[in-house]
Amino acid sequence: MLEFAKNQEFWETVIVKSGFVMSKEGHEMRDMIGYAAGSKKAIRINELALGLVDVAAHGSAEETLQNEAMVMRGQRVLKATIGTK
């Protein structure tokens, strides 16, 4: 997909490398066990979803987005959304 996107004006490929995906609240037993087992690079499902929608709507300067970038992007969209209500 990355190679295909290089030759297209209308196509952008972005690879997202998310970490351990937790529930929105992060209080599920699965979330706590996963986090405690060394998954410090966790992302909440709502942060991931909002980050993906933001990438789809606005694109990305980087072709690969690591977990930290997705967390920040998702939190930024979430704060902007909350601020409009």
CB burial of residue 73 (10 Å; 0-12, 13-18, 19+): buried
Q: What is the pLDDT at residue 37?
A: 62
Could you count the other beta carbons within 10 Å of the beta carbon of residue 5?
14
Q: Where are the domains of the chain?
A: 13-83
| Residue % of the chain over a pLDDT of 70 | 88
Helix 45-58 to helix 67-83 angle (10° resolution) is 90
Q: Please write the tens of the pLDDT for every residue from 8-21.
A: 787 888 999 888 88
Q: What is the pLDDT at residue 40?
A: 59
